[in-house]
Amino acid sequence: MRTFFRFALLFIVSIISFGCAQNFYNVPRETYQKKVRTLGVAPFFVDGDSDIKHPEKDALVALLRDANRKTEKELVAQLKDTGAYFSVRLLDDDAGQLFATLFSRREKRDDAGIIYNKYFFKPEEIRNIISKNDVDAVMLVTLNGLTKPDKVYSSNLLSYLESDYNYLAISAQILDADGNTLWEYPNFRQRSLNYPMLFSLQYPDFDEAAANLSDRVDVKFKTLAGIAKAFAKTEKSPAQGKAQVSTIYNNIFEDMVSMLKPEKNLFGGKKEEPKGTKAQGETK
């Protein structure tokens, strides 16, 4: 009998734990839902002055800017598909000019073992862009270079090399008109911290070391042509019907959007929005 009650208690606790919402925002979830009904998404930025060490850096930055333009609408579509907003729209601005206007500084951080670039933007310019576009908040997505230690295995998984590798990463924030960060990525409100890189610019050349019977494994940069082919690989869009989306971007989008979906009831379905929320959105 004691065993039965023990299992029953564990079952109830697990059900309660499953049903408890996890707030991924820097403010209470209800506050965010009431405050942000119309979300503006800025054209994706590329921080060319960040730690991008590729020998053909300028050409790579141009490639990334082009890839951004082809992919921005997919994130907007996925955010719309969450049903969390009355409206989500891509802002009609030039990405380079807007970044130069908004950018204040970046900081490379190591929080809880997660290495990332945190971006800071000018509050007065954030207020202007939100007011100009008549949105409640703006989402800023910044592609950047990041060097961090990692362990990379060979294709046969028999060897690995621990070294510093150069990556492309994505940092993102949702800011209100007062410059407050309502949500950010990487997100440190997850139960299990995770920050996947967008793309690895380097690889350890195990094959060359083996061919030369050498214990030294060199870390090399991927070619620009190879990077372009990787970014060109697509898969079916989860939000735009028959459209295709870059697989590299979509892996990150899925991670980000999962933390921006409405809270669900224990037995399925979206929880009811706070009273008056829709009315606020419809007055926009």
Per-residue pLDDT, 14: 43
Could you state, in order of their start, the residue ranges of all structural domains in the chain?
Answer: 25-262
pLDDT grade for 20, boundaries at 50, 70 and 90: low
In terms of pLDDT, which residue wins out, 52 or 158?
52
- CB-based contact 135:39 (threshold 8 Å): yes
214-236 burial, b at 16+ Cβ within 10 Å, e below that, comes to eeebeeebbeeeebeeebeebee
Token readout for 163 is 């070294």
Residue type, 152: V
DSSP state at residue 94: -
Per-residue pLDDT, 157: 87
Per-residue pLDDT, 2: 54
Q: Which helix (H) or strand (E) holds 274?
A: none
Token readout for 18 is 């499953």
Per-residue pLDDT, 218: 97
Per-residue pLDDT, 1: 53
pLDDT grade for 162, boundaries at 50, 70 and 90: very high
Stretch 184-201: mean pLDDT: 94
Cα separation, 265 vs 268, in Å, equals 5
- pTM (predicted TM-score): 0.86
Query: Per-residue pLDDT for 146 more than 50?
Result: yes
Place of tokens 């979300």: 39
Query: Per-residue pLDDT for 250 more than 50?
Result: yes
Reported residue count of the chain is 284
| Chain centroid, CA 159 distance in Å | 31
- CB-based contact 221:201 (threshold 8 Å): yes
Token readout for 240 is 């735009």
Smallest CA-to-CA distance from 260 within 157, 132, 139 is with: 139
Report pLDDT digits (tens) over 102-118: 999 999 999 989 999 99
Stretch 232-250: mean pLDDT: 95
In terms of pLDDT, which residue wins out, 157 or 140?
140
